[in-house]
Amino acid sequence: MAVLSTIQCVFSVVLVLFASPLPCLNVRAYQRPVMVQQTGKVLPKPQMMTVSAEAYTLAMSSFKFTYGSSSEMCDIVDQAFRRYYDLIFDVDGPKKAPKVPESMAELTVLQVMVKEPCKGAYPSLESSENYTLTVTAPMGMLVADSAWGVLRGLETFSQLIYRTDDGTMIINKTTVEDFPRFAHRGILLDTSRHFIPLKYIKQNLDAMAYNKFNVFHWHIVDDQSFPYQSVVFPDLSAKGAFNPYTHLYTQEDVKDVIEYSRLRGIRVVPEFDTPGHTASWGAGLPGFLTPCYDGSTPNGKYYAANPMLNTTYDYMTKLLQEVKDVFPDKYVHLGGDEVNFNCWKSNPDITKFMEKMGFGTDYSKLEQYYIKNILDISTSIGRDYIVWQEVLDNGVQDKSTVGEVWFENPTIQAVLERLTAKGYRVLLAAGWYLNHDVYNPGTDWADFYKLDPQVFNGTQAQKDLVIGGEACMWGEYVDGTNLIARLWPRASAVAERLWSNKDVKNMADATVRMDEQRCRMVRRGLNAEPLHPGFCQFEYD
Amino acid sequence: MAVLSTIQCVFSVVLVLFASPLPCLNVRAYQRPVMVQQTGKVLPKPQMMTVSAEAYTLAMSSFKFTYGSSSEMCDIVDQAFRRYYDLIFDVDGPKKAPKVPESMAELTVLQVMVKEPCKGAYPSLESSENYTLTVTAPMGMLVADSAWGVLRGLETFSQLIYRTDDGTMIINKTTVEDFPRFAHRGILLDTSRHFIPLKYIKQNLDAMAYNKFNVFHWHIVDDQSFPYQSVVFPDLSAKGAFNPYTHLYTQEDVKDVIEYSRLRGIRVVPEFDTPGHTASWGAGLPGFLTPCYDGSTPNGKYYAANPMLNTTYDYMTKLLQEVKDVFPDKYVHLGGDEVNFNCWKSNPDITKFMEKMGFGTDYSKLEQYYIKNILDISTSIGRDYIVWQEVLDNGVQDKSTVGEVWFENPTIQAVLERLTAKGYRVLLAAGWYLNHDVYNPGTDWADFYKLDPQVFNGTQAQKDLVIGGEACMWGEYVDGTNLIARLWPRASAVAERLWSNKDVKNMADATVRMDEQRCRMVRRGLNAEPLHPGFCQFEYD
């Protein structure tokens, strides 16, 4: 009864290559699911890894993380030691007394070497995340340029450990040399269409760390609400948040998120999208939006930033200056997407301004005028920027701009080719809209997995301009109730595509590791949803 | 950026009548979402309700539930008093000191009259759930034939209460006369394709009570696993559960679920689906499944109960006798769906049996032979039964059989017409497969809502044979991680269709009440997912 008709059923069997068995498959002798085991598989798959049959035990009482004698010490690594000790030994999870086989050597130390100073550091687009991990008893070695590489290496180390049936913790003799394929590996969360409580933002940052994502693209405000508490314009949230107390990210909350991210090697890139997507700004920033007209009279509605007023740019200067002070990342996302001209066209003052500026009736010139001013402001205060793809298609001159590709125009590959041919750096988001949930979460991850941001017609120089991508979780139908389950482990497919070598594309192997990764996340307390019928050793409860 | 293209976007606006605004709608002056308020609206909508402008306050310290002097008292109602006191006054939720306006009368008592004895009772298909609720200060009255009617009335009472901005709890002067349109209003959970921990089964029972569902159709076993701990055949779960300790419903667990359900007026109808969907039975019940052959030799595979062996019917007699002892409900679901004949056809012993029985090569006769035996066993031990629609299409003679319609053959309405024309009672499940999750949960609930189980070609007598329906949550992609969010509040649409008058179909009104119901469930601690951009006063956290 779990499908609507036999025809649909047979259809599914043919089409759905990586789907779990639908009940219709049961008409023949049925293979029952086997437990998803933790077997020490790693996701994303490291660039180079050699696992030997030789294995070592680990024991909670004797195992230690240490710094190498010449290594830099810092808070980032100290806290990571604490976290990974908990994760590895399940301090909050089920207890089993490990029995150490006498014949097996014990790994008692993982010594960590950080080459660069890391105290108080923030990750950046240029950060090295390279690491080398050597697991040999009694002492393993983890060597990295930076604390960020140490974090990635510790995640790999924790994933390599598994338990035998009798509870013994095991790690095989292993060497790993690893580095990311792309420098920017992001998750977009939208906290405007629904407010997402801090608890779930942090759960998502945990999941990101488990999957080696390194950018939290915080689409923090939009038409629907303005939950960011601004110091220079407190009315923006006082009048623009769903509720200015309960549905608000205070300055302290934002600091908390940035610090939580920093300790996990995750950049926080906030987005303040203008001139469109700004309905929630109107009440708190009078005069910022453009009045719309019916004929010669204002109709009481407003749409988009008013591009003809100096005050608009004064407001944006002050706000972006604050954003610079609050968010340490070198980049800010300035939006620039989906601008509709109807309201601007209806406004007689805008019409006069168009004439004065010599724009004729080409409102895209007005849009470019606005965007150019905003980008100049950003540059003048010392922030680089990311914008949505329209801005680049409309012809920004500054080649340092990063464009985020979000729709097929006419295809994803065509956009990548066109924008990189113009010399822009790009991020890929189109094809990775994980909010587009479907009946069968067991199949759509395969599509995410197969999408390669560098497969398009172009030179190597063009390919090199692709600096990464982002899995997007837009918020129309998502809040704290369903965020984690809907995003994970589907986003793990994007994680591997962005970290691992381009040749890592064996779907059968990926399927096994996706399952193991989802059960690992469940074991670590996240409600990552299932991709197939079956079970984890420890379910979410 | 939240949609893939403008074309798709415009398309959505046209098609998606009840969807929340997609970002593409924002190209014009944008209406920002307003808070989903608790305003005392009730879902499912009562049959008759009059709400006056006159309002009363309630206070935690003075409000009491009491029994009327001639009323029956029982555990069901006692425990409901405790639960609803908690729900109404948010004992575990945010505290606000209500300020009682001097001019407003106070409702201090809700007196409950139960006419029939209710001590230790179990709900049944024939139970009365009628109730009359009169809210007038200082004492309201709730009158019902049975404890079940009291439960429904208390739910309505709790939904009628709301808070003003200053925290005052308010209920309007109201009279309600209410009864369900259909006697069987079910939710199917599948605990075989994934194991669902008791915690989430109970959360779902809470949600069912909040939406006046009254049947938990427990699809407890299937091909993938056998988590039911059988006393007579302990090997069924010992060898057929995913794990016989952690992925198991013990006898105590099952009793717990039945009692939890009973106190909420919910019947527990277990399903033991045969002859197909039984792969997980094989290891624990040797000889039960049919050996499949390649030519003249067994190929080591098995499929479906072996219909030619007396032992098969002995097994089923013992198991169903146990099921009768464990599950108090008069009905058991016997499955009977999706039987494929390939394995039976391959087996030379079955071929001989076919000849002996004079079935020729018509294996549907063999299927009918099996099913008739199982139904006869069920009757002989004193259990009525529900079966999937194929069984009725294949021609069972017993008109007391209830058939559950699960696929379009050729349409839902044609199946309803055909089966009721033969005189069978039916349940509708087709069209209410809520596991078929889609991108836009904000629209699919409208389809569930509009589906009326009595709208088909047929006489009134045929329509009367429709005894209800079930929202189904098949388990291929669902477990504890995502069950509640995916099922609620979408199942609330089915709840209203099955409880309320057939003329209740105003979508705008339903939309408002669906939103209020979802925020109410969130407030009550369930992670019911959002249907639109926007917010509840208290979010899930």
Subunit contact A225:B32, Cβ cutoff 8 A? yes
A505 is written with which tokens? 């594309």
Q: What is the mean pLDDT of chain B?
A: 90
- Chain B contact for A356 (CB, 8 A cutoff): no
A181-237 pLDDT tens trace: 999 999 999 999 999 999 999 999 999 999 999 999 999 999 999 999 999 999 999
Q: pTM here?
A: 0.91
- Smallest CA-to-CA distance from A65 within A49, A87, A43 is with A87
The DSSP line for A125-179 is: TT----EEEEE-SSEEEEEESSHHHHHHHHHHHHHH-EE-TTS-EEEEEEEEEE-
- Smallest CA-to-CA distance from B373 within A463, B381, A110 is with B381
Return the higher-pLDDT residue of B443 and B359: B359
A487 is written with which tokens? 């995003």
Subunit contact A535:B242, Cβ cutoff 8 A? yes
- Chain A contact for B277 (CB, 8 A cutoff): yes
Q: Which of A86-90, B248-252, B447-451, B528-532 bottoms out in mean pLDDT, i.e. has the lowest?
A: A86-90
- Look up residue A500 and give its amino acid: S
Percent of chain B beyond pLDDT 70? 91
- Smallest CA-to-CA distance from B475 within A538, A4, A532 is with A532
User: With contacts defined as CB-CB under 8 Å, which chain A residues touch B527?
Assistant: 480-482
The set of catalytic residues of B is 338
- Tell me how far apart the alpha carbons of residues A142 and A157 are, in angstroms, rounded to a whole number: 9
Q: Do residues B197 and B124 touch, judged by C-beta distance below 8 A?
A: no
- Chain B contact for A342 (CB, 8 A cutoff): yes
Q: Considering the candidates A72, A102, A129, A338, report the single residue annotated as catalytic.
A: A338
The number of beta carbons lying within 10 Å of the beta carbon of residue B443 is 18
Q: What is the model's pLDDT at position A385?
A: 96
- Chain B contact for A441 (CB, 8 A cutoff): yes
* DSSP summary character for residue A501: -
* Mean of pLDDT values over B300-310: 97
Subunit contact A22:B277, Cβ cutoff 8 A? no
- Tell me how far apart the alpha carbons of residues A499 and A492 are, in angstroms, rounded to a whole number: 10
A173 is written with which tokens? 């003799």
* The pLDDT of residue B100 is above 80: no
* DSSP summary character for residue B33: P
Q: What is the model's pLDDT at position B337?
A: 94
Q: Residue B482 is nearest to which of A429, A440, A529, comparing CB atoms?
A: A529
- Tell me how far apart the alpha carbons of residues A143 and A70 are, in angstroms, rounded to a whole number: 11
- Tell me how far apart the alpha carbons of residues A347 and A344 are, in angstroms, rounded to a whole number: 5
Q: Do residues A317 and A381 touch, judged by C-beta distance below 8 A?
A: yes
User: With contacts defined as CB-CB under 8 Å, which chain B residues touch A486?
Assistant: 482
Q: Quote the minimal CA–CA distance from B296 to chain A in Å.
A: 17
B372-390 pLDDT tens trace: 999 999 999 999 999 999 9
- Tell me how far apart the alpha carbons of residues B264 and B257 are, in angstroms, rounded to a whole number: 11
Return the higher-pLDDT residue of B363 and B1: B363
Buried (b) or exposed (e) across B233-250, using 16+ Cβ within 10 A? Answer: beebbbbbbbbbebbbbe
**Helix/strand/coil for A326:** helix
**Helix/strand/coil for A508:** helix
Q: Quote the minimal CA–CA distance from A321 to chain B in Å.
A: 25
Subunit contact B243:A485, Cβ cutoff 8 A? no
User: With contacts defined as CB-CB under 8 Å, which chain B residues touch A22?
Assistant: 476
pLDDT in tens, chain A (541 residues): 444 333 333 333 323 322 333 333 333 446 788 888 788 999 999 999 999 999 999 988 889 999 998 888 899 999 999 899 989 887 555 455 555 667 889 999 999 999 998 888 999 999 999 999 999 999 999 999 999 999 999 999 999 999 887 888 999 999 999 999 999 999 999 999 999 999 999 999 999 999 999 999 999 999 999 999 999 999 999 999 999 999 999 999 999 999 999 999 999 999 999 999 999 999 999 999 999 999 999 999 999 999 999 999 999 999 999 999 999 999 999 999 999 999 999 999 999 999 999 999 999 999 999 999 999 999 999 999 999 999 999 887 778 899 999 999 999 999 999 999 999 999 999 999 998 765 566 678 999 999 999 999 999 999 999 999 999 999 999 999 999 999 999 999 999 999 999 999 999 999 999 999 999 999 999 999 999 899 998 999 8
* The pLDDT of residue B466 is above 50: yes
Residue appearing with tokens 């019940």: B285
B248-284 pLDDT tens trace: 999 999 999 999 999 999 999 999 999 999 999 999 9
User: With contacts defined as CB-CB under 8 Å, which chain A residues touch B4?
Assistant: 407-408, 430, 433, 436
Residue A26, C-beta contacts closer than 8 angstroms, at least 6 positions apart: B223, B276, B277, B279, B338
**Helix/strand/coil for A235:** helix
Question: B147-160 and B198-210 helices cross at what angle (nearest 10)?
Answer: 80
Interface of A with B in 166-195 (CB under 8 A): 190, 193-195
With cut-offs at 50, 70 and 90, classify the pLDDT of residue B93.
Answer: low
Q: Do residues A415 and A464 touch, judged by C-beta distance below 8 A?
A: no
- Smallest CA-to-CA distance from A434 within A413, A417, A451 is with A451
- Chain B contact for A246 (CB, 8 A cutoff): yes
Interface of B with A in 464-493 (CB under 8 A): 472, 474-482, 485-486
Q: Residue B436 is nearest to which of A292, A407, A439, comparing CB atoms?
A: A439
- Tell me how far apart the alpha carbons of residues B145 and B127 are, in angstroms, rounded to a whole number: 9
In angstroms, the Cα distances linking A36 to A513, A515, B229, B409 are 10, 6, 22, 38
- Smallest CA-to-CA distance from A336 within A399, A413, A278, A415 is with A278
Q: Quote the minimal CA–CA distance from B473 to chain A in Å.
A: 9
